[in-house]
């Protein structure tokens, strides 16, 4: 008899236990943390750069970047003003998990930071299944990806605390039906906090930054 289902359940259960430990560690340091997820090219690193440009002089920000290879994203975060920037190379894994994040957290003195941004591996499937222990999960969608993604990847859209719709400056040039997209999102995640924005023009970035600041102040 196939054992695939029990094995997967055991893996996720073990990951969830470690995620709880990560969460407790971050909480103890009084740091607000987010897990940024998206498909490749949606703009995770660009949003991190724009966030740093607006907040680096107000907050102490650490960035942990997950990718299959290279340190390009971590280098960009450091150049944009991150107080610490750590790269996790997954060696082929299509997502970060709680074990990987724990290893990165051990390299940080979290008490020196106000905000921790975790950039997950670009993927719309696996990251939704593996909790990391951050306070909020944020999905970045982008206009060039198309308006059908909530319907194709319901698991990703269902479980996030906030949704960023990036590259809205391209709406006049790409056949993206915002109402169709938002109906799909609403069916999966009613009332999810949504931020339409453009990293290129800066439109909508203030709302995103203010949301981060409000969460930090509440925490």
Strands across the sheet with 193-196, in order?
84-89, 61-67, 115-119, 32-38, 136-142, 162-166, 193-196
**Per-residue pLDDT averaged across 115-124, rounded?**
96
User: Across-strand partners of 194?
Assistant: 163
Q: Which domains does the chain have, with CATH numbers?
A: 4-218 (3.40.50.300)
Lowest-pLDDT range of 86-95, 98-107, 169-178, 180-189: 86-95
Looking at the chain, how many residues does it have?
Answer: 219
Predicted local confidence at residue 6, as pLDDT: 52
- The answer to whether residue 159 scores a pLDDT higher than 60 is yes
- 179 pLDDT band (50/70/90 cuts)? very high
Orientation of helix 44-55 relative to helix 72-80, angle to 10°? 20
15 phi and psi angles, rounded to 5 deg: -65, -40
């Amino acid at each position: 008899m196939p054992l695939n289902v029990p094995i997967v359940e055991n893996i996720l259960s073990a990951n969830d236990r470690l995620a709880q430990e990560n969460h407790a560690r971050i909480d103890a340091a009084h740091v607000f943390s987010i897990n940024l997820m998206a498909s490749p090219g949606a703009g995770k690193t660009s949003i991190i750069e724009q966030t740093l440009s607006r907040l680096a002089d107000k907050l102490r920000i650490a960035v942990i970047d997950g990718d299959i290879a290279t340190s390009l994203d971590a280098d960009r975060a450091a150049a944009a003003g991150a107080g610490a920037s750590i790269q996790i190379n997954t060696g082929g894994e299509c997502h970060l998990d709680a074990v990987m994040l724990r290893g990165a957290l051990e390299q940080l003195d979290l008490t020196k930071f106000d905000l921790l941004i975790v950039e997950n591996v670009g993927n719309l499937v696996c990251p939704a299944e593996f909790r990391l222990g951050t306070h909020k999960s944020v999905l970045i969608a982008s206009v060039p990806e198309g308006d059908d993604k909530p319907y194709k990847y319901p698991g990703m859209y269902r479980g996030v605390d906030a949704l960023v719709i990036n590259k809205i400056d391209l709406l006049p040039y790409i056949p993206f039906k915002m109402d169709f997209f938002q109906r799909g999102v609403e069916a999966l995640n009613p009332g999810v906090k949504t931020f339409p924005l453009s990293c290129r023009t800066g439109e909508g970035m203030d709302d995103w930054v203010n949301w981060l600041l409000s969460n930090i102040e509440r925490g």
